[in-house]
Amino acid sequence: MDSEAIEKEGIGALRGVDAVLVPGGFGKRGIEGKIKAIQHARENKVPYLGICLGMQLAVIEFARNVVGLAGANSTEFDPDTPHPVIALVTEWQDRDGRIERRDDKSDLGGTMRLGAQSAALEPGSLARKIYGTDTINERHRHRYEVNNQYVQRLKDKGLRVSGLTQREQLCETIELPSHPWLIGCQFHPEFTSTPRAGHPLFTAFVEAALQYQASKTKTAIAA
């Protein structure tokens, strides 16, 4: 679905869908349409999966519409945002122990967080239930991260940061306990998913969509 069409025409096309997925990507085209789609999924309890950019936009949507941080955004799209809930991490340690540095003028390819990195999942979280383990090792391809300076404010309003990198404590998964199935991941599960061995997140997402569809059918029959 074209997110620019959602920007122009509203979320009418989303009515009746059984799940919403916003994948990874770069650039600001269609961003506000994607945020509207996420808001629709959150408010209407539609299963939602956000991958990389899709997780970041879920954080922005929550910051704006639940936490009340007007103008919250990513510095990728608005360098002057009053609330940079998504921002460029300028320094981090790679898995070999070396310190990597970057800024907004750095070469894109050379300054991404790339490759497999481990993360710890919170006990009792949806992510922990889906994976069936307390640590995961997933592959990344991105530059921007959830800004740790805003994490507590997000948590105070109900957002759960259920996965963190073990070294830098960067946000890896987010979810919303008040929602039947809403999860975002900073990594790319499609990098390790195959037709014969689907990634646990995709399997759980499809199951949630089917359950949502079945619940609508029961409601219609009851009516």
CB atoms within 10 A of CB 159: 25
Beta bridge partners of 92: 100
Active site residue 172: no
Dihedral angle computed from the Cα positions of residues 118, 124, 125 and 126, in that order, rounded to the nearest 10 degrees: 110
Catalytic residue among 40, 142, 188, 199: 188
Catalytic residue among 40, 52, 142, 172: 52
Alpha-carbon gap, residue 3 to 84, rounded angstroms: 22
Q: Which amino acid is at 84?
A: P
Alpha-carbon gap, residue 98 to 37, rounded angstroms: 39
Active site residue 188: yes
CB atoms within 10 A of CB 100: 17
Catalytic residue among 4, 7, 100, 190: 190
Active site residue 100: no
- Joined tokens for residue 217: 């059918």
In DSSP notation, 168-216 reads T--EEEEE-TTSSSEEEESS-GGGS--SSS--HHHHHHHHHHHHHHHHH
Residues with active-site annotation: 52, 188, 190
